Structures are given as C-alpha cells and as structure tokens.
Structure 1
Amino acid sequence: MARILVAEHEVPVREFIRRVLQQRGHEVVVVDDGAEAVVKLARLPFDLLLADVAMPNMDGVELSLKVARDFPNLPVLMMSNESIQRRRSHDIDSLMVILQKPFTMVALNDAVERALGVNVKVAGPPAD
C-alpha cells in the first residue's frame, strides 16, 4: 500500500487517522505540524501528505505551498474544520481537496483512495 505522512496537531484526530489508515495496510508516519512534515519529507519518500489546515509553527496552507514547489508530484489532502477553513483559507477549497472535520472512517478512506488515484466504489446503481 502507500506511505502516508499525516501532519495533525490534535492527538486524538492524529491517532484516529493513523489507526484507520494502518487498518487499510498503509504505512503511516505522523507529525505535529508543518515544520516537522518538511523535515520528514526531506528524509523519506511519501505517496500522500494528509495535513490539517490549522497547525502551529507552519500551517497546512504554507506547508501545501512548499510541497507544491519542492515535491510537485506528491498529492496533498487537507483537513479542516469549516469555521477555520472559511476564516483562514479564503476559499482554499477551490485550490485543493479539503476533507471536512469531523469525518468518518469511510470518508477518510474514500478521500485517501481518491487522492492516491485508487478507484473508489460508490454505492448506488451501476452506471449505464
């Protein structure tokens, strides 16, 4: 499966993400903030960066801009509380994929699979 870097400062959210993604067979590396994520990205190759928009030291927006410049082939999936997203990101959801907090295991797995380019099965009748 994939090696995923998770940058999230809230420990319960970070551990939930780690547990869910490891259950799917992914290798998960977690860090507290964007600055730590930059250090990990310089040391290891990753298939996906999953980052919170609001973090101390270096927020997710700054981190995603750095990743776009330094690692242009690395997909980035952002996470945000709606209130923070509206206040701080200035419609960043039009620029990148945002996973809205709180999210379920299913929503997390679907978003990760989409970001990794894996076909996601959508419930409903077959397409004609």
Structure 2
Amino acid sequence: MIRILLAEDDDSMREYLARALERTGYGVKAVNSGMSALVELERDSFDLLLTDIVMPELDGIELAQRAGTMHPSMRVMFITGFAAVTLQNGAMPPEAKVLSKPFHLRDLVMEVDRMFEMGSAADL
C-alpha cells in the first residue's frame, strides 16, 4: 500500500483530504503542522509527502527540503492557494507537483495516481 504523509494545518481540509485518499486505497498519516510531519518522518518512511505550503512554524517548502534529505526517494506534492508565488520560489524541489486550491478531490487523487501510475481517481 502506498503511504502518504499529509501535512495540512486546516483541520477540516486535512480530514477531508485524508478520507478521500483513504477511500481510494492509500494509507494516510495526517498531521496538523510541518513540525509534526518532521517527527513522523523521523519515525517512519512514506512514499509521498503531501503538504500545504503556508503553515505556521515550518512551511511546506522547508518541510519538503528537510524531508528530501531524510528520505531522498520520497515524492512531494504541494497543495496551496498561493501557487503563483510558490512557482516563483526557486527553493521548491525540482520534481515536486503543485496543486492549486480550490481543487476537486478527483484532481488530487488523479495527480497522486499519476505519480504512482495507478488508476483510482475514477472512483470519486
């Protein structure tokens, strides 16, 4: 089972995304901050870091940079309402995907499926 670490500080968005990904067959560990995500990355490994960019304490870009050092083969996808600003920032991991809010759950699952060459987005 593909394991996803979801870092999202908005409670309702985090729960919504986690449920949708779990329904389509992904294993999801959801945390409410970048710092909490780092703790999880020290304990365990994941196939995908799915993170909001704008979070208190530790933003998603810095989280992704640290995660890449800890787990170089882990993939990264950003979810954000600030995509235009993000795309101008040269600090993003080169292989990272960016999904701009608002988005449909089908779009999120389709992008995750593409990253792992699977096909569950039609279920949403």
Q: State the TM-score, normalized to the length of structure 1.
A: 0.82
How many pairs does the alignment contain? 120
1:108 deviates by 0.9
> 2:84 matched to which residue of 1?
86
Q: CA deviation at 1:87?
A: 3.5
Which AA in structure 1 matches 2:117? V
Q: For structure 1, which runs of at least 5 residues remain unmatched after alignment?
A: 122-128
Q: In structure 1, how many angstroms separate the alpha carbons of the residues matched to 2:67 and 2:114?
A: 19
Q: What corresponds to 2:29 in structure 1?
A: 29
1:46 aligned onto 2:46: yes
Structure with larger Rg: 1
For 2:107 and 2:85, locate their aligned partners in 1 and report how far apart those are by CA, in whole Å. Answer: 23
Q: Tell me what 2:75 maps to.
A: 75
Q: Could you tell me how far 1:105 is from its partner in structure 2?
A: 1.5
- 1:111 Cα deviation from its structure 2 partner: 1.1
The aligned counterpart of 2:10 is: 10
* Percent identity over paired residues: 33
Amino acid at match of 1:111: E
Secondary structure of 2:4 counterpart: strand
Runs of 4+ in 1 over 4 A off after TM superposition: 91-94
Runs of at least 5 residues in structure 2 that lack an aligned partner in the other structure: none
Q: Secondary structure at the match of 1:13?
A: helix
